[in-house]
Structure 1
Amino acid sequence: MRDSTDLLQRIEEDVKVAALLADVFEFDVRRKVGDESARLASGLMVEPIAGDFTGGVFYLCGTVGSARPVLYASSEGDAGIIATDLSEALGVVVGFPYWRDCLKYSAGGDLAAMELAADFLCRDLVANRPAIGAEQSRVAEALGLTLESPLVLTARLHMAVKSAGPDFDFSDDTGEYGSLFGPFPPSRNRSWQ
């Protein structure tokens, strides 16, 4: 496992990897501007490290030298811990690019619903982006990541979001953010019927 500072530096120095992360996996280190009012209920520091196409921001929580979980705050007002560290977060982002949609169709945080959604999302991912396997391998190799199956990543993501606790409740000047677990069951998506 690599230190978060080292991983971020590697991404910033490797223009091709940074471009793949931004364009394919929506983890853009050039979009690391977070809201200055961003805060956790515990008072733990949050450091913006990347953004996505929709205005969402990835934050490292805590101070350098400590365990630094990764929190994702969407532009829709939802936030939560997605991984115990940056290496694990990148594993989710690269290994399962549709992770946000998996959370959206989690029926309020039900792992079985997320697993069902993951099956549909994997099918959609391969259909929409046939080269995804090669792109995942390129980024994983460059950053020393181990690619796990989407079902393993779904379970890991579920556990991270579910077990974070109230210390990681996120807010900014717009107010408190809700959970990353969406209310919809997979059956809500008509294309998955």
Structure 2
Amino acid sequence: MSTLLAEIREHDDAFEFLNWPGDFDLDRSDHLEDVHLASGAPLQGFAGDGAGGTYFFCGEGGEERPIVYADSEGSAGLVAIGVPELLKLLLVVPWWRGCPSLNPDESHAASAEYLRDLPDLFDRRDRAAVALGLELPSESAVLEQLRRTATRGCEDYTLIFTPEGTRYEPLFQL
């Protein structure tokens, strides 16, 4: 059975959109720092972004596992429960990192900047979603889902900088 992560590589529309503007690189899964989860659950890097951030699977299992994102500046947080939820975030709100409070006004301002540079963004996004067999929710629904996910079980998904035993800062200002 094919996984969604494998399907991304099979579909140029999805692969290209997720690389940019999604800033999601399946070829970069190593985090620059030695980290672990406060809960002690396994942590597995599986993708990164151009600024040195890393997406991690938490716990045991497959693509249904919770996903923590850590940036290169010492902030981290739970961003999705499973790959389908993560892909909807990256497809619908690729500018999510520019929305630290996860409010619609932040998102609209960030989207306007992206649309100036990528006027065909929505067409490209829709082709990527079709290629992956995903139905996309609205921007507000994605932001609300991210808010619910980010505040869920925060302690279990707290990232620790292993050499110093210090916690990463929260990714969002909620």
* Same fold? TM cut 0.5: yes
For 2:122, the equivalent position in structure 1 comes to 133
Q: Deviations over 1:29-57 (max 9, x none)?
A: 01112357321111111111110010000
TM-align CA RMSD: 2.2
* Percent of aligned pairs with the same amino acid: 31
Q: In structure 2, give the amino acid aligned to 1:64.
A: G
Q: How does 1:29-44 map to 2 (within 5 A)?
A: 29-35=26-32, 37-44=34-41
Work out whether 1:173 is the aligned partner of 2:173: no
SS of the counterpart of 1:163? coil
1:143 aligned residue:
132
Q: Which residue of 2 aligns with 1:187?
A: none
Q: Which is richer in helix?
A: 1
Say whether the 8 Å CA contact 1:60–1:68 is kept in structure 2: yes
Report Cα offsets for 1:83-118 as digits up to 9, x if no partner.
111110110011111100012xx1xxxx6xx12212
Q: Is 2:12 aligned against 1:21?
A: no
Secondary structure at the aligned position of 1:158 is classed as: helix
TM superposition shift of 1:15 = 4.6
- 5 Å-filtered alignment, 1:18-97, equals 18-35=15-32, 37-64=34-61, 67-97=64-94
The alpha-carbon distance between structure 1 residues 54 and 41, as it changes in their structure 2 partners (threshold 3 A), is same
TM-score computed with the length of structure 2 as normaliser: 0.88
Q: TM-score, normalised by structure 1?
A: 0.80
Q: Select 1:101's aligned residue among 66, 86, 98.
A: 98
Aligned to 2:99, the other structure's residue is in SS state helix
Structure 2: runs of 5 or more not aligned: none
Deviation at 1:154, TM superposition (A): 1.1
Change (3 A) 1:154 1:48: same
Q: 1:157 aligns with which of 146, 153, 166?
A: 146
In 2, Cα distance between the equivalents of 1:65 and 1:100? Answer: 25
Q: Is the 8 A contact 1:60 1:86 kept in 2?
A: no
Between Structure 1 and Structure 2, which shows a larger proportion of strand residues?
A: 2
CA deviations on 1:167-189 (whole Å, 9 max, x unpaired) are: 11102336321101149xxxxxx
Asked if the contact 1:51/1:57 (under 8 Å) is kept, the reply is: yes
SS in 2 for 1:135: helix
Q: Which moved more, 1:45-54 or 1:28-37?
A: 28-37
> Equivalents in 2 of 1:66, 1:87: separation in Å?
8
Measure, in 2, the Cα distance between the counterparts of 1:20 and 1:130.
13
Question: Number of matched residues?
Answer: 172
- In structure 1, list runs of 5 or more residues that go unmatched: 184-193
CA distance in 1, matches of 2:108, 2:145: 16
Q: Any idea what SS the aligned residue of 1:71 has?
A: strand
